[in-house]
Structure 1
Amino acid sequence: MMWPSSQASKILTFLLFITILYCICMDTFLFLRIQNYKIDIYDVPENATQETSTQKYTQLENYEDVTWVPCRINPLCHPTVKALMVDHINHYIYGPLCAIVDIGLGISETMLFITPNIISFFHVFVACVGAKLITCQNLAVRRLAVVLFQLRMFLDDLDGHVARERKHIKGERSEVGTLGYWVDGICDLLGVIAMMVGILLYLKNNPPRRGYKGTPVSTLPYHQLKEINTSEDIEKEHTTEVGISYKTKVSFQRIVQVLGLFSGQMMLSSIAWNRYIDVYQDLLENCTEYDVFRRATMFKSGLFFFATALWRIVNPHSYLHLLSLAVFCDKTWGFLKTVHYSGYICLVIAVATSEYLVENIRSYVVS
C-alpha cells in the first residue's frame, strides 16, 4: 500500500465527509439561486402581455450583480436543465477547475489547434492507460489508475467547456445530433468500456474467495459464509482466534454476471439520463413558442429540482465516481456485489419520477 491502511482510511473518510458536505451546501445554494434570481434562459420578451407576471419577474435581481465569485468559474451563475442533472463532482468541482485551467492556458481563445474533439480522443488514450494499470495486483498501481480515470473525467468536462466557450454558450447544454455530441458520446463509451475491461481482467486474475469462519467447516450454518474481497482481508482473517477455512474462489462466470449487471445499470442510466435532458430541454428551453412564464414556473418548482437531483445521483458519471472510490479503497468486488441489483431500484425510481414530471410539465406548459 502507499501508506498505512489506518491512515488511509482516516484521510479518505475525512475527504469523503468534506466532499459530501460541500455538495449538499452547493445544492442548497443552487436551489436558493434559482428561486430568488433571474434565469438567463427565460428572458421576458418585449411584447409580453402578462403584466402581473412580467412585473414580478423583472423585479428579480440578476445573480451576476450580487455574487462575488466570477461567473466564468461560478457553477451557480447559469443554471440550465443539463446543469441541474450533471453529477455533483463534475458540476461543482471539475466544472470550475476546467474554467480555471482554460483561463490559465487560454485554450478557448489562443490555443485554437486544440479542438474539443482532440481533447475527447486524448481522454480515451488516458482511459486505456488507466485500464492497463488497473489490472495490476499492486494496490499503489491501481490507485494510480484511479487518478488517471479521474483525469479522463476531468478532460471529458474540459472538452465540453472549450466547445461552449468558443460558441459563446452560457451554462451546460446538450447539442443533440451535432458532430461534437456524437464524438463526445462515443469517446465516453470507449473510456467506460476500457475501465470495465480492466476491472474484469483484474478480478479474473485475483478472484475473491469464499470461506467459513471457525472450524470445523462442516458444523457451521450457511449464513456464516463470508466473501473475502481483498488480500488485506484474507490476512486480517488469519489473525483471528478461530481462523478461516477457504472454500472455492468466486467463479469467473459469477464475476462476469455481477460486472455485467453493473454495466447494464450504467448503460440504462446513460440512455435515460440523456433522454430526459433532451425532453426537458425541448419543453423548458428550446421551445420558445411555449409561454415563458409557465416554463419559468416549472423550472423553478421544487418538484423539478427534486427530479433532477435524483439524476445527479444515478447518472453514469456518479456510478464511475463511486466505482473509482471502491477501486481506490481496494473494495471493488464488495461494491459491485452490493449495487449490481439495488442500483436498478434507484434507477426505476428516477425514471418513474421523471415520467410523471414530464407529463405534468407538458400538460402545464403546452396548454
Structure 2
Amino acid sequence: MMWPSSQASKILTFLLLVIVVYCICMDTLLFIRIQNYKIDIFDVETNVTQETSTHSEARTLPNYEDVTWVPCTINPLCHPTVKALMVDHINHYIYGPLCAIVDLGLGISDNMLLITPNMISFFHVFIALIGAKLLTCPSLASRRVGVVLFQIRMFLDDLDGHVARERKHIKGERSEVGTMGYWVDGICDLLGVIAMMIGIILYLRNNPPRRGYKGTPVSTLPYHQLKEINSTEDIEKDHSSDNGISYKTKVTFKRIVQVIGLFSGQMVLSSLAWNRYIDIYQDLLENCTEYDVFRRESMFKSGKFFFASAIWRIANPHSYLHVLSLAIFCDKTWCFLKAVHYIGYLGLVVAVGTSEYLIDNIRSYVLSGMDGR
C-alpha cells in the first residue's frame, strides 16, 4: 500500500467531504447565476414570437462576465448550456477549469495546431490501456496508480472537447451530434471504459473474492454452494468464529463476469439515456429557433429544468466511473459491484421515468407559444 490504511481512510474521507461541499456550493452558485444574469445562448435570438414586457425586462439583465471576479476563461459558471447542466460535477467543476488552465498555460488551442482534439482522444485511449494493465496487478498500490491514470484519461477526455470548442470559438459545452469529432470522442470513450472493465475482470479472475458460510460444516452445505468449490484449496477455515468454523469459498469466474456484465449494462443504458436527453433538451431549448425564445429562456431558468438536468448530473456514465474508481482505490471493487449490479437498474428506471414526465411538461410549455396557442 502507498500509506497505512487508517491514514488513507482519513485523507479520502476529508477529500470526499471537501469535494461534496464544493460541488453543492457550485450548484447553488450556478442556479443563482442562471436566475439573475443573461444567458449567452438566448442573446443572439431574433425570432421572438411573443415580445412581452417581461421578455424586455429579461433582456436588461446584467452580464455575468461584468460582475464575476473569476475570469470566464476558467470559470465554469460563465456560459451555462443544456449540456453543461447535465455534465457530472467532477468534470464540470474540477476538470473543466483545469483544462482551461492547462490550455492557457501550454497554448494548445492557439499555438499547438498540430495537436488536434482527435489526437488527444487517441492518446487517452493509450493511457487507459496502461491503466487497465495496472488494474490487473495484485498490488493495491499499482491498482491505485491505475485509478489515477484513468482519472487522467477522463481529464484528457474533457481537454479534447475544450480544445475543439476553443478553435471553433464556441462558448459553453455543446454536443455536435453527427460530426466526426462526436463519433471519434464517443468511440475513444468506449474503448477506455472497455479497457477498464477488462482490467477489473482479469484482476478478479486472478484474485477471486471469497464468500463465507459461518458455522456450517462443509458436509451440510447446499448443493448450489458446494458446486462452487473446485478443490480443497478453495476452502479456508477460521476456527476463531464464535459460532464455530467459518468456511470461505472463492467466487466463480462465471459469477464475476455476470456481475461486471450487469454493471457494464447499466453504464451503456446510462450513456444512451444521457445522450438522448441532451439531444432532446438542446433541440427544445437551444437549437429550434422557431420556438418562442421567451418561453425557452423561461424554462431554461426554471427550477423544473434545473432539477431535470440534475438527475443526469448524477446518473450519467462519468459519475459511474468516478464512483467505481473510488471503490478500486479503497480496495472495495467487488463489494461495490455486487451492491449495485441489480439495484442500479432500478435507479436508472426511476431516472428515465422522471425524465420522460418532465420532458412532456417542458415540451408542452415551450410549444404552447407557437401559433398563438
TM-score by length of 2: 0.90
Give the partner amino acid of 2:347: C
Deviations 1:166-217 (A, max 9, x none): 0000000000000000000000000000000000010111111112345767
CA drift of 1:362 comes to 1.7
For residues 138 and 244 of structure 2, the distance between their equivalents in structure 1, rounded to whole angstroms, comes to 25
**2:328 is the alignment partner of 1:327:** yes
For residues 350 and 47 of structure 1, the distance between their equivalents in structure 2, rounded to whole angstroms, comes to 34
* Cα gap change, 1:143 to 1:215, in 2 (>3 Å): same
2:30 corresponds in structure 1 to 30
Alignment of 1:313-352 (within 5 A): 313-352=314-353
2:97 corresponds in structure 1 to 96
Please say if residues 136 and 202 of structure 1, whose CA atoms lie closer than 8 Å, have aligned partners that are also in contact. Answer: yes
2:141 corresponds in structure 1 to 140
Structure 1 window deviating more from structure 2 (37-46 vs 156-165): it is: 37-46
CA drift of 1:90 comes to 0.2
1:43 corresponds in structure 2 to 43
Deviations 1:33-64 (A, max 9, x none): 11111111112646756231232202311111
For residues 286 and 312 of structure 1, the distance between their equivalents in structure 2, rounded to whole angstroms, comes to 21
For residues 239 and 80 of structure 2, the distance between their equivalents in structure 1, rounded to whole angstroms, comes to 54
Residue aligned with 2:190, SS: helix
Deviations 1:232-289 (A, max 9, x none): xxx9x89877786333211111111110000000000000000110110011000111
* Cα gap change, 1:220 to 1:95, in 2 (>3 Å): same
Q: Which runs of 5+ in 2 are unaligned?
A: 223-235, 369-373
Please say if residues 23 and 92 of structure 1, whose CA atoms lie closer than 8 Å, have aligned partners that are also in contact. Answer: yes
2:249 corresponds in structure 1 to 248
Alignment of 1:119-134 (within 5 A): 119-134=120-135
Alignment of 1:83-232 (within 5 A): 83-213=84-214
Residue aligned with 1:11, SS: helix
* Cα gap change, 1:244 to 1:194, in 2 (>3 Å): farther
2:2 corresponds in structure 1 to 2
Give the partner amino acid of 1:33: R
For residues 244 and 176 of structure 2, the distance between their equivalents in structure 1, rounded to whole angstroms, comes to 59
Residue aligned with 1:70, SS: coil
Deviations 1:104-145 (A, max 9, x none): 000000000000000000000000011111000000000000
Structure 1 window deviating more from structure 2 (301-310 vs 180-189): it is: 301-310
Q: CA RMSD in A?
A: 2.1
Q: Which runs of 5+ in 1 are unaligned?
A: 222-234
* Cα gap change, 1:238 to 1:156, in 2 (>3 Å): farther
For residues 155 and 257 of structure 2, the distance between their equivalents in structure 1, rounded to whole angstroms, comes to 28
Please say if residues 44 and 292 of structure 1, whose CA atoms lie closer than 8 Å, have aligned partners that are also in contact. Answer: no
Please say if residues 217 and 245 of structure 2, whose CA atoms lie closer than 8 Å, have aligned partners that are also in contact. Answer: no
Please say if residues 44 and 54 of structure 1, whose CA atoms lie closer than 8 Å, have aligned partners that are also in contact. Answer: no
Deviating 4+ runs (over 3 angstroms): 44-49, 212-221, 237-244
**2:360 is the alignment partner of 1:359:** yes
* Cα gap change, 1:131 to 1:79, in 2 (>3 Å): same
For residues 262 and 62 of structure 1, the distance between their equivalents in structure 2, rounded to whole angstroms, comes to 44
Residue aligned with 1:147, SS: helix
Please say if residues 284 and 295 of structure 1, whose CA atoms lie closer than 8 Å, have aligned partners that are also in contact. Answer: yes
Give the partner amino acid of 1:34: I
Give the partner amino acid of 1:32: I
Please say if residues 211 and 244 of structure 1, whose CA atoms lie closer than 8 Å, have aligned partners that are also in contact. Answer: no
Please say if residues 216 and 247 of structure 2, whose CA atoms lie closer than 8 Å, have aligned partners that are also in contact. Answer: no
Residue aligned with 2:71, SS: coil
For residues 183 and 47 of structure 2, the distance between their equivalents in structure 1, rounded to whole angstroms, comes to 38
Please say if residues 47 and 289 of structure 2, whose CA atoms lie closer than 8 Å, have aligned partners that are also in contact. Answer: no
Please say if residues 109 and 167 of structure 2, whose CA atoms lie closer than 8 Å, have aligned partners that are also in contact. Answer: yes
Residue aligned with 2:2, SS: coil
What percentage of aligned pairs have identical amino acids? 80
For residues 217 and 311 of structure 2, the distance between their equivalents in structure 1, rounded to whole angstroms, comes to 48
2:80 corresponds in structure 1 to 79
